[in-house]
Amino acid sequence: MKKSAKKLALAAVLAALGAAMLSGCGKKTAAADSGVTKVVVGTGNAYEPYCFLDEKGNLAGYEYEVLKAVDELLPQYEFEYHTSDFANVLISLDAGKIDIAAHQYEWNEERGEKYLFGKEPYTTYVTYLAVASGRTDIQSLNDLQGRKVKSSAGSNSVYILENYNKEHPDNPINIDYVNNSTDEETITGILNGVWDATILTKRDTEKLNKNYGDGGEVIKVTGEPVQSSSTFFVFAKGNTELQEAVDGAVKQLKESGKLAQISTDIIGGDYTESE
C-alpha cells in the first residue's frame, strides 16, 4: 500500500508538472500566433520639441507622436521605445539593439551607404547659419573660414561642414564638436563669441529667441539655406519589410491630414510639406 501511495503521489506530481509545461507552451504559442512583432525604436532624449523627456521623465515630442500614430496603423507591430543621446541612436542601430532610428535624420551620401532610409519624409528640414543678431559679417560658409562653428558629431550639419573643409583645406572652418549642449549653452556661446555661428532651422531659431530673447531677437538666421532637405526614419540595411510598412503608414498620415496636425500641435506649424 505504501508503494502504491508513493506511485500515485509521483504520478500526481508528474501530471501537475506536465500541465504546467503545457500551459507555458500554450502562452508562448499564443504570443507567436498573435502575429504581432515587437519593434524597438531608438530616439533622443534632449531635442525639444522633437524628442525629449518631459518633467516626469516620459518620452515626448513630435517624433514620438508621429511614431504612435504610425504604430496605430500597423497592427502587426508593437513599438517599444529606447531613448539615448543623439550620438548613440545610430550606434544602437549598428549594434542591432533597435530596429528604427528616429531623430530628425536627413539623408546624406555617407548615411545612405550605411543605412536603409525610409522613402516617405515626415518633416521638412531647411537649415541656415545662425549668428548673434547684431552680426552682419557672416552670410555664407565662405565667411566662416578660420572661424569657430558649433556642431555635433554625427549630425548632418557637421557632415556639411566637414565636406566644406575637404574642399577648402587651405582655409577650413574650425568645427567645435559639442554634443548634448543645452539651448541656454548654445545661446550663451553665440552671444559671448565662443562660437561665431551654428546651423539651425528657422523654427529652432525662433524657439530660442522666444525662450531666451526676453521679448526680442538675440540670434538670427543669415544668408541662403545651407541645406534644404527632409527627415526620414532610418532602418538597418535589408529591413525592407518594416521600412515599407512604416512608409505606408506615414503616407496615410499625410493623406488624412493627421501628420500636418501633429506638426502644428507640437512644432507650431505645418512643417510636413514646405517651410
Q: Per residue in 2-54, pLDDT tens?
A: 444 444 443 443 344 343 333 333 322 333 456 899 999 999 999 999 999 99
Residue 41 sits in the same domain as residue 103: yes
> For residue 203, is it within any domain?
yes
> For residue 77, is it within any domain?
yes
| pLDDT per residue as tens digits for the range 68-118 | 999 999 999 999 999 999 989 999 999 999 999 999 999 999 999 999 999
* Percentage of the chain lying above the pLDDT 90 cut: 83
- Tell me the residue type at 144: L
Confidence at residue 33, expressed as pLDDT on a 0 to 100 scale: 53
Question: Measured between alpha carbons, how far is 17 from 180 in angstroms, rounded to an integer?
Answer: 53
Instruction: Please report which helix (H) or strand (E) contains residue 180, including its range.
Output: none
Query: Which whole-number Å values give the CA distances from 141 to 106, 110, 149, 261, in the listed order?
Result: 19, 21, 10, 35
> For residue 116, is it within any domain?
yes
Residue 240 sits in the same domain as residue 255: yes
Confidence at residue 273, expressed as pLDDT on a 0 to 100 scale: 78
Range of 222's domain? 125-228
Collapsing DSSP to helix, strand or coil, 124 comes out as strand
Residue 107 sits in the same domain as residue 135: no
Residue 45 sits in the same domain as residue 134: no
Name residue, grid cell 531635442.
47
pTM strictly above 0.75: yes
Which pLDDT band, with edges at 50, 70 and 90, does 179 fall under?
A: confident
> For residue 194, is it within any domain?
yes
Question: Measured between alpha carbons, how far is 178 from 157 in angstroms, rounded to an integer?
Answer: 12
Residue 235 sits in the same domain as residue 119: yes
Residue 142 sits in the same domain as residue 119: no
Which pLDDT band, with edges at 50, 70 and 90, does 61 fall under?
A: very high
Residue 65 sits in the same domain as residue 119: yes
Count how many residues are written for the chain: 275
Residue 73 sits in the same domain as residue 149: no
Residue 129 sits in the same domain as residue 222: yes
Mean pLDDT of 236-245: 98
Instruction: Please report which helix (H) or strand (E) contains residue 106, including its range.
Output: strand 100-106
Query: Which whole-number Å values give the CA distances from 24 to 10, 19, 20, in the listed order?
Result: 21, 9, 6
Q: Count structural domains, the chain.
A: 2
Residue 209: give its domain's CATH number: 3.40.190.10
Q: How far does Cα 130 stand from its chain's mean position?
A: 22
Cis peptide before 225 (omega within 30 of 0): no
Confidence at residue 26, expressed as pLDDT on a 0 to 100 scale: 30
Residue 59 sits in the same domain as residue 191: no
> For residue 25, is it within any domain?
no
Confidence at residue 21, expressed as pLDDT on a 0 to 100 scale: 33
Residue 148 sits in the same domain as residue 217: yes
Neighbours of 192 (CB within 10 A): 9
The answer to whether 173 touches 197, Cβ cutoff 8 Å, is no
Neighbours of 238 (CB within 10 A): 8
